[in-house]
Chains A and B, each alone.
Chain A
Amino acid sequence: MSDHLILRIVGKFLIPYILLFGLYVQFHGDFGPGGGFQAGVIFASAFVIHTLLFGLESAERIAPQWVLKIVAASGVLIYALVGVAAMLMGGNYLDYDFLAADPIAGQHIGIILVEFGVGLTVASVMMLLFFTFAGRGEAS
């Protein structure tokens, strides 16, 4: 791969913008099209490009598998615990109205947190899947 200079330079240029776009889709999701699923996939695709251009080892130094596993689990936990928080504050499960004094502010907080959890899990699971398949040839 060392001779693919053009690909590597262009890839290096693209990766930050992909990450930024992923974050935009994530956090603008409650005003425009977007949300955790799409953002997670876009975010993970930056790592996929990195892996293709610079190899699995380099990518796994940035995002070790054990970290990804923790992130994947904590994303689900964030989602579930937001619901529990709404329950403890007097509402039904996932009733964001109760998360803040003002129901509309509560809805904003709720959906941002839940989508953040979704984004974390989707991004890290996408990376884990890709790393697992990319690493198959080397392991055996």
Chain B
Amino acid sequence: MLAHLPVLVILAPLLGAPVASLLRGPNWPWLLATLLSWFALLCSVLLLIQVNAQGTFIYTMGGWEAPWGIEYRIDFANALLLVLITGLASVVLPYARLSVEHEIGADRCPLFYTALLLLILGLCGITVTGDAFNVFVFLEVSSLATYTLIAMGKDRRALTASFSYLIMGTIGATFYLIGVGFLYVMTGTLNMADLAERLPAISDSSTVRTAFAFIVTGICLKLALFPLHLWLPNAYTYSPSAVTAFLGATATKVAVYVLIRFVFTIFGVEFSFGAEPLAEVLVPLAIIGLLSASTVSIMQPNIKRMLAYSSVAQIGYIVLGLAMGTAMGLTASLLHVFNHGLMKGALFMVMGAVAYRMGGTSIDDMRGLAKTMPLTFWAFVLGGLSLIGVPLTVGFVSKWHLILAALELGWWPVVVAILAGSMLAVVYVGRVVEAGFFGEPKDATKREAPWGLLVPLWVLVIANIWFGIDTRLTVDIAEAAAAQLMAGGVVR
């Protein structure tokens, strides 16, 4: 069965989604989805071990050899992403049972879990595939599932949030498709490894340059790089808590992965950073993004919205790392993809627990939380410290590597910007912590969130500390992935 691992990750949600839509009641679809996500996590971890032991893992769909057929090609970068996606799914799904039943009602639960499984399917599919068009197909699967899930939010504004994401997401996906179309016209292939082999010979043509521009812009829309982030704050604020936790931790990260794959594997470092001004475009946008979004999040009365803006800022760090075009920058970027998934997942789950008990996620609901819901509150504090980048948390690990990468290039102003971003994070996290500690509870009779929410939440908080102290696993894999990506994609 080990030879089938890449497809088993996809197959679990693919088989689960239609079955979940036929089950009744809130609990059976939930149980199915949870077990399948654990199975997918098991497969992803085994896959990572395999890649570590034997190198790049290739699976030919339907027995059709690449470049004619679709191949799934797993190296360190996508194995790491797969573990992140399925790991977060495995934590968010147990959490979802109470939260989802509370927020969207028992009758729509089967459809909710169907959409969530389809979302997991799409995200895993984008990650494992080695075919540029197949990426588009899975991108659409995940996007359509996302629009549905966002629209299920309790607030009616969820509908407009979902609609504007639908418009922006479709533009992004269309740009991507136009770019892939141009590449297909020029090379006659859609296989990523094959594209990487053929492109250098013809890269000095305006069609290839246009394709590059379309693909990078399209993906940057999906990953919410400033100033293409406008869909994100509303989408994260109004969607159900469990959805926000999962999306915030994984969806934009998968888009980052696609960007990395195209920039480093398919177009190659020389083309992206030599012939094209990628660093000159992305670095300023990333820095403006991380500073402005952090500043905006200080002023948000709704904490979920504050965290959404903080996500835009964190995307700034991630893009900054990859835009350096060095192995160290890429390592930092991949590390932050993984680590930010852990911290934002935890923080959004805290907000779900607050919404469960207090009925809202504004700063007033957070007042006096240290007295009424201490465990939830301390989870927020630890997650917030991780977001700031305090030592012994994952946030420190990735920011440390990012600063090292900037120092290696001698980019002192960038180092200052990264530190300034962390200072702004101190302010916006500190404001909530202050309200929680010293504020008077809005309703002192409220009690701690139920265990069904607290256990998954704390699992993720502990992961934040664990991977902050024991950095061997994440740093080694990120470094190995960066080395592979810098060497170019054609690792046969």
Q: B22 to A92, Cβ gap below 8 A?
A: no
Task: Name the prevailing secondary structure of the B interface residues.
Answer: helix
26 contacts between A and B (CB under 8 A): A70-B22, A72-B18, A73-B19, A76-B17, A76-B18, A77-B15, A77-B18, A77-B19, A80-B11, A81-B15, A83-B7, A84-B11, A84-B15, A87-B7, A91-B63, A92-B60, A92-B61, A92-B63, A93-B4, A93-B7, A93-B11, A93-B59, A93-B61, A94-B62, A95-B62, A96-B62
Q: Is A97 an interface residue (CB 8 A)?
A: yes
Task: Name the prevailing secondary structure of the A interface residues.
Answer: helix
State how many residues of chain A have any CB contact under 8 Å with chain B. 20
Q: What is the bound-complex CA distance between A83 and B59, given in angstroms?
A: 14
A-contact 0/1 string along B46-71, CB 8 Å cutoff: 00000000000001111100000000
Question: Nearest A residue to B22 by beta-carbon distance?
Answer: A73
Residues of B within 8 A of A95 (CB): 62-63
State how many residues of chain B have any CB contact under 8 Å with chain A. 15
Q: B61 to A94, Cβ gap below 8 A?
A: yes
Residues of A within 8 A of B17 (CB): 76
Q: Is B302 an interface residue (CB 8 A)?
A: no
Q: Is B454 an interface residue (CB 8 A)?
A: no
Q: Is B137 an interface residue (CB 8 A)?
A: no
Q: Is B14 an interface residue (CB 8 A)?
A: yes
Q: A73 to B18, Cβ gap below 8 A?
A: yes
Query: For window 62-80 of chain A, which residues contact chain B by CB distance below 8 Å?
Result: 69-70, 72-74, 76-77, 80
Residues of A within 8 A of B63 (CB): 91-92, 95, 97
Most buried by B among A72, A73, A92: A92
Question: Nearest A residue to B60 by beta-carbon distance?
Answer: A92
Question: Nearest B residue to A66 by beta-carbon distance?
Answer: B22
Residues of B within 8 A of A92 (CB): 4, 7, 59-63
Q: Is B326 an interface residue (CB 8 A)?
A: no
B-contact 0/1 string along A91-135, CB 8 Å cutoff: 111111100000000000000000000000000000000000000
Most buried by A among B4, B19, B61, B63: B63
List 6 extra interface pairs beyond A92-B4, A95-B62, CB under 8 A: A77-B18, A77-B19, A80-B14, A81-B15, A92-B59, A95-B63
